Amino acid sequence: MPVRRARTALVIAAALLPLTACGSGQQDRGQDEPQAASAKGFPYTVENCGVKTTFTKAPERALPMNQHATEVLLELGLAKSVTGTAYLDDKVLPKYAADYAKIPVVAEEYPSKEKLLAADPDFVYGGYASAFDAKQGRSREDLAKSGIRTRLNIEYCTKGSSAVDDIYREVAETGRTFGVGERADTWVAAAKKTVADTEARLKGVRPVSVFAYDSGDKTASTTGGKGIANEMITRAGGRNVMADVPKSFTDASWEQVVTRKPDVIMIIDYGSTTVEQKKKRLLEDPALQDVPAVRNKKFAVMPLSELVVGVRAPAAIERLARQLHPELAK
313, 235 contact by CB (below 8 A): no
Neighbours of 57 (CB within 10 A): 17
pLDDT per position as a tens digit, 31-64: 433 333 357 899 999 999 999 999 999 999 999 9
Q: What is the dihedral of CA 178, 6, 246, 13, to 10 degrees?
A: 0
Residue 108 to residue 85: CA distance in whole angstroms: 9
Residue 13 to residue 208: CA distance in whole angstroms: 33
The CATH classification number of 2-193 equals: 3.40.50.1980
State the number of CA atoms in the 13 A half-sphere of 93 facing the CB.
14
**Which band of pLDDT confidence, cut at 50, 70 and 90, is reported for residue 330?**
low
pLDDT over 70 at 231, yes or no: yes
Mean pLDDT of the chain: 89
pLDDT score for 277 = 97
- Residues 153-171 have a mean pLDDT of 88
Residue with more model confidence, 25 or 264: 264
pLDDT score for 36 = 38
pLDDT per position as a tens digit, 63-84: 999 999 999 999 999 999 999 9
CATH 3.40.50.1980 domain position(s) in the chain: 2-193, 203-329
pLDDT over 60 at 125, yes or no: yes
- Residues 9-13 have a mean pLDDT of 34
pLDDT score for 193 = 98
Establish whether the linkage from the previous residue to 43 is cis, with ω within 30° of 0: yes
DSSP string across 209-241 = EEEEE-B-SSSEEEE-SSSHHHHHHHHTTEEET
- Residues 232-239 have a mean pLDDT of 98
Give the DSSP letter of residue 133.
Answer: -
- CATH class, domain 203-329, is alpha beta
pLDDT over 60 at 25, yes or no: no
Residue 38 to residue 154: CA distance in whole angstroms: 27
pLDDT per position as a tens digit, 188-217: 999 999 999 999 999 999 999 999 999 999
